Amino acid sequence: MLANLTFENMKQLESFLQNPFSDPKISLDKKKKFGESHLVNLTVQNTANIYDQTIVDTAAVQTALFGDITNVEVTKALQKAQTESVDHLMEAFKKRNTRLNNFLISTEVDKQPVYQTFFPQGVTEFTRDVNKGNVEQLMTRLVEVITLQPAVAGGATVLAEYEAFRIQYALVRNLQLTKISQVSAGITNRENAEAAWDNQLFDNLLLIARENKGQPDLINNFFDQSIVHTPNNTQSKDIMPLV
């Protein structure tokens, strides 16, 4: 049976690299409705929290292009995603601190005075006792300590990890619905905003495809294609089908 499979039977591979959301026939009005619908669908499908950051990023480009999001369900989706993103970062930070402490113990730094500069009140302050009220301060403290003595902590890559924690947490924590457009990578005009929207939706499509390989019917759980194309006239479709 496999012997009968030829390239003529396959879809053109180039089609998978085309961004269906860049079609100029899709009106901005349809993109607005499509994006809001997609955000709601993403939240419904986000039971394992794998789309938390995707929801935040999509909301940013949606707001940059269309202004504040007023859809109640989308607002709830964003609030949930932001909360989950903050919680995930905090957990990752706490686990990284445990690893850092284990490294300091394995190198016997814990027996030296310099250890106190890392964990002056003990490691539990940076693991068990981390909360939203102190996490940014703790992140900043470790960045400052590791900056002064990166070799003791394990090298420049460790410093980069902690700097990334601080930057990512500040971004997600401060991302409010009324300020999302300020965090959209300097998008200042409609053309750039629309291009960013197109690219983000395409990235979402690729992520969803990767997470649902071999299950093309599931695409309809994420995208309402009826919003952006006219099914009765294949010549006038605004967007290529996603399945």
Question: How much is the average pLDDT of 110-139?
Answer: 94
Q: How confident is the model at residue 137 (pLDDT cuts 50, 70, 90)?
A: very high
Please tell me the predicted confidence (pLDDT) of residue 178.
42
Please tell me the predicted confidence (pLDDT) of residue 20.
92
> Considering the entire predicted model, what is its pTM?
0.53
Residue 142: pLDDT over 80: yes
Question: How much is the average pLDDT of 175-190?
Answer: 47
Share of the chain above pLDDT 70, in %: 79
Question: How much is the average pLDDT of 83-112?
Answer: 92
Supply the mean pLDDT for the chain.
Answer: 82
Question: How much is the average pLDDT of 155-183?
Answer: 73
Residue 176: pLDDT over 50: no
Question: How much is the average pLDDT of 32-57?
Answer: 87
The better pLDDT of the pair 61, 189 is held by: 61
Residue 115: pLDDT over 90: yes
Question: How much is the average pLDDT of 156-174?
Answer: 86
Residue 40: pLDDT over 50: yes
CB within 8 A of 101, min separation 6: which ones?
110, 118, 119, 123, 126, 127
CB within 8 A of 21, min separation 6: which ones?
31, 197, 198, 201, 202, 205, 239
Please tell me the predicted confidence (pLDDT) of residue 85.
76
Please tell me the predicted confidence (pLDDT) of residue 72.
64
Residue 8: pLDDT over 80: no
Neighbour-count burial for 30-46, b at 16+ CB within 10 Å, e otherwise: ebbbbbbbbbbbbbebb
Question: How much is the average pLDDT of 125-151?
Answer: 94
Please tell me the predicted confidence (pLDDT) of residue 223.
95
31 closest CA partner among 206, 216, 203, 200: 200
The sign of the dihedral angle between the CA atoms of 222, 185, 132, 116 is: positive
Question: How much is the average pLDDT of 58-82?
Answer: 75
